[in-house]
Amino acid sequence: MTSRNPALRSQVIHIYKELLYLGRAYPLGYEYFRQRLHKAFISNARLTSEEEIERGIERAGFVKKGMFYFRCYISHIYIFHTHPT
């Protein structure tokens, strides 16, 4: 990513780190998730216009939201099965 806007670069790095953190609970394993995430970000490294980069950040935000809800769901299932009523 060779953007003239350092704020966009900072956002990309931040969301990458957040997704890595959320990927710890991925069912196929963290290493599988990390490799796929890296591949997805590398495939978008060629983006140069700010609009394209912002769309990529929005897509990553959508994935982040899905991972967050998935993690909440897994936590709920774990609590439900370990603490029966």
Is residue 75 scored above 80 in pLDDT? no
Which range of residues forms the domain containing residue 18?
A: 6-82
Tens-digit pLDDT profile for residues 11-56: 999 999 999 998 888 888 899 999 999 999 999 999 989 999 999 9
Asked whether the whole model's pTM tops 0.85, one would answer no
Domain count of the chain?
A: 1
Region 72-82 average pLDDT: 65
3-class DSSP string for the chain: CCCCCHHHHHHHHHHHHHHHHHHHHCCCCHHHHHHHHHHHHHHCCCCCCHHHHHHHHHHHHHHHHHHHHHHHHHHHHHHHHHCCC
